[in-house]
Amino acid sequence: MPLVEVTHAPAVAESKLRELGEVLPHLVSKAVECPEEPYDGNLQPGDVEIRFRKLGPLDRSGLDVVIEVKSKWFESRATDRQERVDALHQAISAATGLDDVGVYLSLPTAAWSQGD
CATH number of the domain encompassing residue 92: 3.30.429.10
Domain enclosing residue 79, as ranges: 3-106
Question: Per-residue pLDDT tens for 8-55?
Answer: 999 999 999 999 999 999 999 999 999 999 999 999 888 999 999 999
| Contacts (Cβ under 8 Å, ≥6 apart) of 15 | none
Q: What is the pLDDT of residue 103?
A: 98
Q: What is the pTM of this model?
A: 0.91
CB distance 31 to 109 below 8 Å: no
Question: Per-residue pLDDT tens for 59-108?
Answer: 999 999 999 999 999 999 999 999 999 999 999 999 999 989 999 999 98
The answer to whether residue 29 sits within a structural domain is yes
d(CA 57, CA 76): 40
Q: What is the pLDDT of residue 45?
A: 86
CB distance 4 to 68 below 8 Å: yes
Which sign does the torsion angle of CA 83, 88, 91, 93 carry? negative
The answer to whether residue 32 sits within a structural domain is yes
- What's the total number of domains in the chain? 1
